[in-house]
Amino acid sequence: MTTYTPEKRAARPRPPYLALLATWRGRIGLALVGLVAAAGLLAPLLTGHDPTAQSGQGLLGPGAPGHPLGTDELGRDLLSRLLYGIRTDLGLIGLAVPLGAVLGCLAALAAAAHPAADTVVQRVFDLVLAFPGLILALLVIAVAGPGWLPVVLVIALAEIPVFGRQLRAGILVQRGREYVTAARVGGTSRTRLLVRHILPNAAEPLIVQFAVSLTVAVFLEGAMSFLGVGVRPPEPTLGNVLAQAMPYLAQSPHVAAGPLVVITALVAGLSLLADALNREIRR
Amino acid sequence: MTASHPSPFSAVTRRATLRAAGAGTALLGLGLAGCRSAVSSEGDPVPAGDAKPRRGGTLRIAIGNDFTPALLFAQSAQSLQQGLLFNTLTRYDDRLRPQPELAVSWTYPKDGRSITLKLREGVAFHDGRPFTADDVIFAVQNLQNPVRAAQLRATASAVTGFEKHGDHELTLRLTHPVANLFDLFEFMIITDRHTVADAVAGRKLNGTGPFRFVKWSPGTGLDLVRNDRYWRAGRPYLDAVELRVAGQADALVSSLRTGQSQLSFDVPGKSMALVKSTPSLKITDYSTGAGAYYVGVNTTVKPLDDKAVRQAIAWAVDRDRLLAQSLGGYGLASAAPWPRSSPAFTEARRTHYRHDPAKARELLRSAGHRSLKLPLLHSATPGDTSIAEAVQYDLAQVGIDVTLEPTDPATAQKKLISQSMPALWTLSHGFAQVHPSTLAVSAYPFNEAKNTSRFRSGTYTRIVKEAWTTPDDGPAGRARYARITEILLDEAFIIDLVVRGQVQVASERLRGVSLNKFSQARLDDAYLV
């Protein structure tokens, strides 16, 4: 009598975005980003102050009654400005980076579809990349004026060529692979080949790029608000809270400490996540 | 930034980003430590008894705004260099009495329709050409040219005839008497008539002042050296003056604290506490009222065409809080534009509008409004943003929802001149520090004929013209100034907040600095110890 023992199926590899949780980089990165994001999302629960409400108190140090982080020169609660600033920043980059990614990918697909389109898209990318991020920001602000939407536009515009170039390079690599040739010989249409077969394989590195772009977006928003061309005051953002703290850096460094720590944690967390993802994908 | 976008496949990505974040924090810390250390070394006491002027040395002035050559003949945000490169005909003392400069004496008949000036002899331009009466004629005609955008053009235009009596005496004929003729002489720089096109392009600035032009580097500043031909024997003491642009207030304050610059008039009120804590720096408040912060109202925008709504805004603003929180306490909370030194100043008018939100709400209700939504333009500098935010908050408390429109200072100035401001704006104005009529005939926000608020009133025009054409500071003159102030307060098309003089921050080593009434620096007697 023979006993049938079913063969153990080989375990499917975990997707990289889950595998990264097994690494210390991934865990720390996620913890930092999660902590900052939770602070922003739970802002209304964590503070009872309106971030724009002023008082006659002027600058108060940390530990002042009712103001754990103190107040700024207009008597506004610093904790609430910091927490709501995180909310604003997350909202901005959460909208702008995906927008830039989607538009960049669409441009890359268009470029892959026809050589003429490729030439046009590449030159447009060159044009956008020729302007450093802040110059691009000043150009957009000069036309559209300051505000929430122009900041989203600037970040998205800066990210379009980054994602576009990345995806285009991936498509070119995949096009030379045997499975593409086989599919083409098998009669698969150009569109189906591109969207169904090439795109999923070429898009994987974009996950890492997405995390990196979030980091860059934090810097770009911060720089714009710091220079006074970002979100309109008095709405707090990490950049404008930091900018308002600058005159008091020597005598009241606590005003600047909050946004500095948060920006550092957010950037470090996103960078660690990107690095962990990168390692998992390359494995 | 986009060009150097890191690749996700490079291990350098994470390191670079982390390094950038870490290095930024570390640099900030090091920078602060560096500042403190440098400041400590600067804090050496001045040797006792070392008060004798010393010849030599280079003075570095930190300026918040770059020199704008196109505004050489206008009152711009940065007028220091006018007093270094050029002279004026006369100069006011602290009590607004004209003192000789390039005009050594004058005869001003009672009818006020002419003035005869005797000019200083032995004065030469930097290129060696002698100064004559023709240069004065050119200076007046130059300001009459609308292209020069000179705020005192109306006064210059009242001069319609010139009679030369040799090279160093001339008579100016006026169409009518003007009360602020000596404001014109204080304001009007004497430039070389042959190189004026180069002057407004910033290529060559040829004057008779104590310092010669070397170069202007846009965005960096101006380099000047001692004028060895200067008409005041032994002056100036300094060998050179360098004006350096520090656009960011923190950079400007740091340059003063570390001794990289020795003088500035552009330290914002928010930074004064830091300056006060620096022993090597001293603060001098010129209570001249050379600048006043205000809220401007476009009277063609509904419902701001209603005086009651404008008055509600005037009652809603807490001037004392704004002065303490946004301006570091330097200035005078005032509903009227005048500094204490002005003949138009009275305490009652200064406090005409106090912070009274209930009264503001009542006025709004009486005008048929419970809430309003209005834009407010402001300069996007941290100091001006703080003022705008304070005003925004105060107006929100009475039901006026204000959207801030941060704008770069140059664009704000253009909009002010071209009368294209939105419903509300907040900036600062000058011209209240001299003759009261100058404010109403020369300053863009107040000009009776063409102001930024587009406010028109026959009564205002009549009383301003009366005050302007009647040189009289006696009781009748003061009654006219009172009437002008009453109209300004009642119509509230310009809502003054805080009258601020020039606040000078200088190194303990620097002596002998002064300013004229139009913020032109006088460094003839300045020296470093």
Structural element, H or E, at residue A280: helix A254-282
Q: Is the pLDDT score of A131 beyond 50?
A: yes
- Distance, in Å, from the CA atom of A230 to the CA atom of A213, rounded to the nearest integer, reads 18
- Given this model, what pLDDT does residue A246 score? 80
Residue A204 maps to a domain: yes
- What CATH number did the domain enclosing A248 receive? 1.10.3720.10
**Better-scored residue on pLDDT, A143 or B32:** A143
Contact across the interface for A161 and B277, Cβ inside 8 Å: no
State both tokens at A192: 């189906």
State both tokens at A130: 């020729």
Summarize pLDDT for B252-303 with one digit per residue, the tens. 999 999 999 999 998 887 788 889 889 999 998 876 667 899 999 999 999 9
- Given this model, what pLDDT does residue B33 score? 33
Nearest to A275 among B13, B28, B325 (CB): B13
- Given this model, what pLDDT does residue B95 score? 80
Domain of A144, in residue numbers: 22-49+70-282
Rounded to a whole number of angstroms, the distance from the CA of B307 to the nearest CA of chain A is 28
Residue A181 maps to a domain: yes
CB-based contact B401:B276 (threshold 8 Å): no
Q: Is the pLDDT score of A2 beyond 60?
A: no
When pLDDT is averaged across residues B489-511 and rounded to a whole number, the result is 93
Q: Does B40 touch chain A (CB under 8 A)?
A: no
Band of the pLDDT at B26, cuts 50, 70, 90? Answer: very low
Summarize pLDDT for B375-415 with one digit per residue, the tens. 999 988 777 888 999 999 999 999 999 999 988 887 888 89
Q: Degrees (nearest 5) of the Cα angle B44, B46, B48?
A: 130
Residue A212 maps to a domain: yes
Summarize pLDDT for A73-101 with one digit per residue, the tens. 889 999 999 999 999 999 999 999 999 99
- Given this model, what pLDDT does residue A3 score? 55
Is residue B406 reached through a cis peptide bond, with omega within 30 degrees of 0 on the bond before it? no
- Given this model, what pLDDT does residue A244 score? 82
When pLDDT is averaged across residues B65-74 and rounded to a whole number, the result is 86
State both tokens at B233: 């024997």
Band of the pLDDT at A6, cuts 50, 70, 90? Answer: low
Contact across the interface for A282 and B9, Cβ inside 8 Å: yes
State both tokens at B256: 């003063």
Q: Is the pLDDT score of B42 beyond 50?
A: no
Residue A91 maps to a domain: yes
Rounded to a whole number of angstroms, the distance from the CA of B502 to the nearest CA of chain A is 19
Summarize pLDDT for B314-367 with one digit per residue, the tens. 999 999 999 999 888 888 999 999 998 888 999 999 999 999 999 999 999 999
Lowest mean pLDDT among A254-258, B170-174, B186-190: A254-258
Residue A121 maps to a domain: yes
Contact across the interface for B389 and A234, Cβ inside 8 Å: yes
Instruction: Provide the angle, in degrees to the nearest 10, between the axes of the packed helices A205-226 and A148-175.
Output: 160
To 10 degrees, the CA torsion angle through B394, B398, B399, B403?
-20
Domains contained in chain B, CATH given: 3-54+68-193 (3.90.76.10), 292-500 (3.10.105.10)
* Tally of structural domains, chain A: 1
Summarize pLDDT for B223-257 with one digit per residue, the tens. 999 999 999 999 999 999 999 998 778 889 999 99
Residue A7 maps to a domain: no
Contact across the interface for A162 and B5, Cβ inside 8 Å: yes
**Better-scored residue on pLDDT, A4 or A161:** A161
Summarize pLDDT for B92-143 with one digit per residue, the tens. 887 888 999 999 999 998 888 999 999 999 999 999 999 999 999 999 999 9
Main-chain dihedrals φ then ψ at residue B282, nearest 5 degrees: -125, 145
Nearest to A271 among B17, B270, B404 (CB): B17
Lowest mean pLDDT among A193-202, B93-102, B199-208, B286-295: B286-295
Residue A214 maps to a domain: yes
When pLDDT is averaged across residues B451-475 and rounded to a whole number, the result is 90
Average pLDDT value for chain A: 87
Instruction: Name the DSSP letter for residue A196.
Output: I
- Given this model, what pLDDT does residue B25 score? 39
Instruction: Name the DSSP letter for residue A198.
Output: I
Band of the pLDDT at B50, cuts 50, 70, 90? Answer: low
Nearest to B274 among A158, A250, A263 (CB): A250
Q: Is the pLDDT score of B3 beyond 60?
A: no
Q: What number of other Cβ atoms are within 10 A of residue B223's Cβ?
A: 18
Contact across the interface for B386 and A272, Cβ inside 8 Å: no
- Given this model, what pLDDT does residue A199 score? 87
Band of the pLDDT at A32, cuts 50, 70, 90? Answer: very high
Residue of chain B whose Cα is closest to the Cα of A212: B8
Residue A4 maps to a domain: no
